[in-house]
Structure 1
Amino acid sequence: MDGRAVAPAAGTVLNALASGRGSAFAIDAETTAAVELDASGEVIGEVADDPDADTALVERCVELTVAEYGDERVSGGSVRTESEVPMAAGLKSSSAAANATVLATLDALGVADEVEREDACRLGVRAARDAGVTVTGAFDDASASMLGGVTVTDNRTDELLAREEVSWDVLVWTPPEQAFSADADVARCERVAPVAEVVADLALDGRYGEAMTVNGFAFCAALGFSAEPMVEALPDARGVSLSGTGPSFVAVGERALLERVQDRWNEREGTTWLTTTRNDGTQRR
């Protein structure tokens, strides 16, 4: 009983740590999960090229999916993930890994076409909470990765408030350091909740670029990041933000203008790359 799936990374429109509402958009960088199910009673995870990586999240994804949709023939298995998405960079690597693993497990069980994608996404969110890799459950990030396009959610109830397909060019800058979502100062983030509510209204009105930029300045202040990369991106970018709890920044807009931003960001330590949005979401392979 084997299954395989790929899930895209995502960038931030609104960080959900402040108010519970969040928004994110899928980008063209993938995490792949390969799952083999058996009757061993144990799930073993592995991350390609990183034998010491924490695999609790993907193991929990398999366990929950088998418990929900499996039968007495299946009690364990293995999962191996491989990713183009840098870990702990604010680009939703955990959500992508969870989504790919859940869909690969559903594929192995032979029920992938019978399960609604939102329900599959919520399984990964449950696993993320169980594994302690997220504060909010990250339904905003997970829904963008699972469904594609840009989504707006209420992470307090795991409700999808809006989804729209978009075709944006995207510029990403990832500095060398890492920032783990579970370590974010939630109390400081909650202090910018009034700003986050404005951002949520902008996102629900389809004004994603403006929403991103307001979010970015607010969360740079709350999380202690310099907003200088954002200033460097404006006014060439349609929108720019700290992604998640950092340290990456994402900018969207016209490719020619983003290339000008890339020239400036290339002077910084780390990695810059141009990509696009994705509307197809998580897929079996």
Structure 2
Amino acid sequence: MYGTAVASGAGTVVNALATGRGAAFALDVSTRARVALDPTTTGVDGEIADAPTEDTTLIERCVERVVDGYGDGEGGRVRTDGEVPLAAGLKSSSAAANATVLATLAALDVAVGPDGSVSYADACRIGVAAARDAGVTVTGAFDDAAASMLGGLVVTDNTADELLTTAPFDYDAVVWTPPARAYSADADVAACEAVAPMAELAIRLAREGSPTEAMTVNGLAFSAALEYPTDPAVAAMPHAAGVSLSGTGPSVVAVGEGDALDPVAADWRERPGEVVRTTTTAEGARIRDRGDGDPPNGWW
């Protein structure tokens, strides 16, 4: 049995580390997962094609949790690849977990969606639980995972894995990713909690219809708390609708309208690292294929 799924990366509106409530939006960059299950074996072997030395515990736990809930003890393999860089603040773990959960459900022929036995939100919660098992997140990152899974803008209570608000979020985007990497599980939680009043303000803005303003408040507060430079965001402010440090960094994301973001991209290209032009997306995560028996030649 086999399945393939994709899930979106995401950007931050409000980091949940300060208060347990967060907000995020889906970006049109994606991670793909392929899962092959075998009822004659046990255990799961994982592979991250873009980073073969990285820890694969998260994606393996995703397969195991889905099999525990909907399968019959099958073992198998999981492989992820895609456009979302690891440890860059662009929700690579959430995208990998969501894609892996959906691919495993597809391999087990479990229907997902409004008319299925598993909703997209509940599939997302399986990945969040696996992320906690794997120790790759402090808060559970339900905000990041929900944005990646559902698309658009989400506001969440990460302490209860609860969706508070969903809304459209339709912008062009520029992403600057410096060469350094930062793992969410290593974030300075105490420093983030120190900016809780600004995070509370940003959550109010996001829920009251001003998510881009919330982004900018969040970005300045958390860049200061986590000791990232604020000048990339300041350079973007005259041109962008909103700009923020994404997650615990190091990436910075600006959103706005088309050509207005050209000066932002130009400024950020003068800095070390990579600049990507993309858009937000309403699509989120989706199953791409499923089948019984051995996967076709070249599928893996």
Q: TM range, normalised to the smaller chain?
A: over 0.9
Matches within 5 A, 1:94-113: 94-113=93-112
Cα distance in 1 between the residues matched to 2:209 and 2:62: 32
1:148 is matched with 151
Cα distance in 1 between the residues matched to 2:82 and 2:179: 17
**Structure 2: tracts of 5 or more residues without a match:** 289-300
One of 202, 220, 224 as aligned partner of 1:221: 224
Cα distance in 2 between the residues matched to 1:269 and 1:51: 24
Cα distance in 1 between the residues matched to 2:26 and 2:86: 16
C-alpha deviations, 1:25-77, integer Å up to 9, x for none? 00011100000111311100011143212100000000001111113xx4211
2:296 is matched with none
User: How far does residue 257 in structure 1 lie from its aligned partner after superposition?
Assistant: 1.0
Letter paired with 2:12: T
Q: Equivalent residue of 1:232, what SS?
A: helix
Q: Equivalent residue of 1:200, what SS?
A: helix
1:128 is matched with 131
Matches within 5 A, 1:12-27: 12-27=12-27
Worse-superposed segment, 43-52 or 148-157: 43-52
Cα distance in 1 between the residues matched to 2:153 and 2:50: 31
1:8 is matched with 8
2:297 is matched with none
Q: Compute the RMSD of aligned alpha carbons.
A: 0.8
Cα distance in 1 between the residues matched to 2:238 and 2:111: 44
Contact 2:5–2:100 (8 Å) recurs in 1: yes
User: How far does residue 194 in structure 1 lie from its aligned partner after superposition?
Assistant: 1.1
Letter paired with 2:281: R
Cα distance in 2 between the residues matched to 1:49 and 1:16: 28
Contact 1:26–1:277 (8 Å) recurs in 2: yes
Cα distance in 1 between the residues matched to 2:237 and 2:54: 37
- Identity, in percent, stands at 63
One of 272, 275, 279 as aligned partner of 1:272: 275
2:265 is matched with 262
Letter paired with 1:3: G
**Structure 1: tracts of 5 or more residues without a match:** none
Matches within 5 A, 1:227-242: 227-242=230-245
Worse-superposed segment, 34-43 or 4-13: 34-43
Cα distance in 1 between the residues matched to 2:111 and 2:6: 13
C-alpha deviations, 1:227-276, integer Å up to 9, x for none? 00011101110000000000000000011111111111110011111100
Cα distance in 1 between the residues matched to 2:178 and 2:278: 17
2:252 is matched with 249
Cα distance in 2 between the residues matched to 1:157 and 1:49: 33
One of 114, 119, 126 as aligned partner of 1:116: 119
Cα distance in 2 between the residues matched to 1:172 and 1:8: 14
Is residue 2:56 matched to residue 1:55?
A: yes
Contact 2:50–2:82 (8 Å) recurs in 1: no
C-alpha deviations, 1:111-157, integer Å up to 9, x for none? 13321001000000000000000000000000000000010000000
Letter paired with 1:120: A
2:28 is matched with 28
> How many positions carry a matched residue from both structures?
283
2:295 is matched with none
Contact 1:35–1:77 (8 Å) recurs in 2: yes
